[in-house]
């Protein structure tokens, strides 16, 4: 049978979209892995200092990360607004949004640093071991100085990403790990004449690596568009409000997700050390598998926003559905790996049989929500490109906090299922969130088509 010209054209268009998303997503996936590896580098380097140093970095990084990522989420509106301006072929508009994004980042620096500084004295009231506390507080004060370069980096990343410029983002994060390793070697262990600072030295190394990341993207932005420096750099309250209107729900959605996993960790910590260790194995594993759909999600936001900017809802729909298929396919493979080889994965973390058994059980439960986890994060990105950040926020709050966490707590404690019960609640939440957001994306595609027809 000979393929018709129409079918051939459709197939070629689909392949072109896959290639376009891959060109965006592949560097962004590597960038996300690079971001995750920075914490791993700090932990490995201070591991030679002692258990207190490891515990200090774990606690301080977790707290700073939650605050910093929420603030960074406020800049997610740049994905929508820059990509739409780029799609419409309006570089002046792209520059305007970049400048206002940088103003918003600057406005966030003092609040973020203030919140972190206010939390530091409270660490002593949380029952944290005194040895850990002795390292955690100065380490947190050190990394607090990285708030400024980190927020500016976030703004520059969204600006470049919205214009399909992603390789500098990957380069900055991957090479920042090399800077961080070298900085840890100097400041943690006192090499090249530097004082031996232990865990605190790792915090200063992280600051230096984040200044480096900011500098790389600032140079990339200038090389991409030297005209950016020629624009008036006055703050525009209306544009900043528009960024906040899109960014606040996105930040809240991320906050709900981070907080629910933190809460589950605390609840499992009430059970026993073996259950908590198994939980950490499963959490580390799914955090790694999540990097691929997270990169695809960012690519989906940009591709959808670009298509809408040029007035092409059909291409926006194709970009969203293609990204969903790719994210779902990657996570389906991940689900198979968790189902077929959970013991092999758990044994990579520990040789202790009880912990392996606990991890295997949770990994098998995680396998059931991998597909839906991929769908929900990619759908969130596609909807962000379409200018909808409120629906994902509502879905994540309802799915996690109204349904998933209460169900998991009931299964874990009254029904005595322990950690598996809590993970069943998370699985239920993610299945619901992923399913609903795909349906929301379908409705959004129809709305875009109707609006084009009306025009």
For 1, the token pair is 């049978």
CA distance 280 to 289: 14
> What is the per-residue pLDDT for 7?
53
> What is the per-residue pLDDT for 85?
96
Please state the three-class secondary structure of the chain as a single string: CCCCHHHHHHHHHHHHHHHHHHHHHHHHHHHHHHHHHHHHHHHHHHCCCCHHHHHHHHHHHHHHHHHHHHHHHCCCHHHHHHHHHHHCCCHHHHHHHHHHHHHHHHHHHHHHHHHHHHHHHHHHHCCCCHHHHHHHHHHHHHHHCCHHHHHHHHHHHHHHHCCCCCHHHHHHHHHHHHHHHHHHHHHCCCCCCCCCCCHHHHHHHHHHHHHHHHHHHHHHHHHHCHHHHHCCCCCCHHHHHHHHHHHHHHHHHHHHHHHHHHHHHHHHHCCCHHHHHHHHHHHHHHHHHCHHHHHHHHHHHHHHHHHHHCCCHHHHHHHHHHHHHHHHHHHHHHHHHHHHCHHHHHHCCCCCHHHHHHHHHHHHHHHCCHHHHHHHHHHHHHHHHCCCCHHHHHHHHHHHHHHHHHHHHHHHCCCCCCHHHHHHHHHHHHHHHHHHHHHHHHHHHHHHHHHHHHC
Burial class (CB in 10 A: 0-12, 13-18, 19+), 14: middle
Buried b (16+ CB within 10 A) or exposed e, 67-100: bbbbbbbbbbbbbbbbbbbbbeeeeebbbbbbbb
CA distance 180 to 168: 18
The residue behind tokens 């981070």 is 258
> What is the per-residue pLDDT for 214?
97
* Phi, psi angles (nearest 5°) of residue 57: -65, -40
> What is the per-residue pLDDT for 151?
96
**C-alpha torsion angle, residues 339, 341, 344, 347 (rounded to 10):** 0
> What is the per-residue pLDDT for 454?
52
Burial class (CB in 10 A: 0-12, 13-18, 19+), 274: middle
CB of 156 within 8 A of CB of 72?
no
> What is the per-residue pLDDT for 149?
96
> What is the per-residue pLDDT for 378?
97
For 298, the token pair is 């960012």
Which pTM value belongs to this model? Answer: 0.90
> What is the per-residue pLDDT for 129?
67
**Residue 136's closest CA among 108, 160, 116, 153?**
116
CB of 59 within 8 A of CB of 133?
no
CA distance 198 to 135: 8
In angstroms and rounded to an integer, the radius of gyration of the C-alpha atoms of the chain is: 22
For 225, the token pair is 């568009």
CA distance 262 to 269: 11
Which residue ranges in the chain fall short of pLDDT 70?
1-12, 51, 126-129, 451-455
CA distance 14 to 381: 19
Cα 221 to the center of its chain, rounded Å: 22
**Residue 433's closest CA among 393, 406, 382?**
393
């Amino acid at each position: 049978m000979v393929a018709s010209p129409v079918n051939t054209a459709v197939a070629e268009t689909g392949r072109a979209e896959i290639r376009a998303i891959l060109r965006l997503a592949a560097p962004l996936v590597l960038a996300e892995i690079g971001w995750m590896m920075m914490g791993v580098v700090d932990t490995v380097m201070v591991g030679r200092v002692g258990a207190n140093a490891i515990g200090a970095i774990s606690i301080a990084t977790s707290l700073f990360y939650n605050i910093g990522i929420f603030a960074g989420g406020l800049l997610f509106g740049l994905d929508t607004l820059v990509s739409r301006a780029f799609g419409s072929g309006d570089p002046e508009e792209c520059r305007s949004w970049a400048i206002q994004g940088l103003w918003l980042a600057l406005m966030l620096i003092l609040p973020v640093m203030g919140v972190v500084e206010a939390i530091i004295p409270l660490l002593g009231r949380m029952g944290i071991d005194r040895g850990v506390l002795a390292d955690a507080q100065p380490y947190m004060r050190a990394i607090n100085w990285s708030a400024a370069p980190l927020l500016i980096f976030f703004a520059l990343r969204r600006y470049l990403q919205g214009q399909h410029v992603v390789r500098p983002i990957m380069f900055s994060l991957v090479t920042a790990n090399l800077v961080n390793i070298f900085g840890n070697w100097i400041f943690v262990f006192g090499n090249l004449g530097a004082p031996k600072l232990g865990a605190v030295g790792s915090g200063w190394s992280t600051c230096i690596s984040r200044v480096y990341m900011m500098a790389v993207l600032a140079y990339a932005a200038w090389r991409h568009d030297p005209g950016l420096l020629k624009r008036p750099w006055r703050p525009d309250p209306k544009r900043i409000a528009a960024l906040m209107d899109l960014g606040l729900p996105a930040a809240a959605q991320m906050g709900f997700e981070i907080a629910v996993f933190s809460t589950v960790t605390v609840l499992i910590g009430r059970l026993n050390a073996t259950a908590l260790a198994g939980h950490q194995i499963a959490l580390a594993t799914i955090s790694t598998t999540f990097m691929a759909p997270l990169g695809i999600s960012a690519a989906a936001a940009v591709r959808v926003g670009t298509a809408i900017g040029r007035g092409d809802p059909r291409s926006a729909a194709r970009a969203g559905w293609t990204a969903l298929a790719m994210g779902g396919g990657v996570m389906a493979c991940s689900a198979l790996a968790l189902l077929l080889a959970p013991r092999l994965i758990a044994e990579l973390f520990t040789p202790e049989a009880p912990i392996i058994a606990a991890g295997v059980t949770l990994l098998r439960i995680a396998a059931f929500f991998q597909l839906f986890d991929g769908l929900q994060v990619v759908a969130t990105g596609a909807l962000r490109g379409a200018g909808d950040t409120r629906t994902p926020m509502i879905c994540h709050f309802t799915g996690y906090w109204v349904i998933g966490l209460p169900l998991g707590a009931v299964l874990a404690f009254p029904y005595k299922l322990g950690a598996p019960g809590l993970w069943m609640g998370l699985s239920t939440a993610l299945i619901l969130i992923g399913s609903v957001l795909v349906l929301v994306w379908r409705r959004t595609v129809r709305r875009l088509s109707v609006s084009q027809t009306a025009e």
